[in-house]
Structure 1
Amino acid sequence: MSALTLEQWRERLAGYIASEKRILESQEYAVGQGGTARRNRRADLEQVQAGIRECNAEIAKIEAAATPRTRRVFTLRPY
């Protein structure tokens, strides 16, 4: 899934973080009372956190590939 751009990965990460916040605030809630109440259960926290880890890993990979590598040159002199 690395065909996404850096900006798309960052947007995806922001979405996962927002979802994680909503899940942490309330995993499940009901509207109404009794037998007519409608229930809503959010996604599993573990899946959202796995998505956050995946996004962070892909962002780090893309940023590392874009960063120029420096080379060190050593000069050895015999004794």
Structure 2
Amino acid sequence: MSQQPDTAPVPDRQPLDEHTAASPRACAAEQRAKADALSSVSEDIAAYGYPSAEVGVPWETTRGDHLARLADEQPRVA
């Protein structure tokens, strides 16, 4: 483990108001939920093994569904 303290000194920053801070908090919560879902799948595989091919979804189907969702989204500006 690292010998660094948990909270390092932070350079001067401008605080955000609650309305502005809501967006990065929502993004962090979304990413945390995705990581939790991936972790639970990994734990399930570790405990019970891989699912059989007959009960799975072919990757082509999953890929097609994902690309269709991306095509339906509104364009975003970074």
| TM class by smaller structure | 0.3 to 0.5
Greater relative contact order structure (CA < 8 Å, 6+ sep): 1
Specify the structure having the higher radius of gyration (Cα). Answer: 1
The alignment's TM-score, normalised by the length of structure 2, stands at 0.35
Structure with more strand by fraction: 1
The alignment's TM-score, normalised by the length of structure 1, stands at 0.35
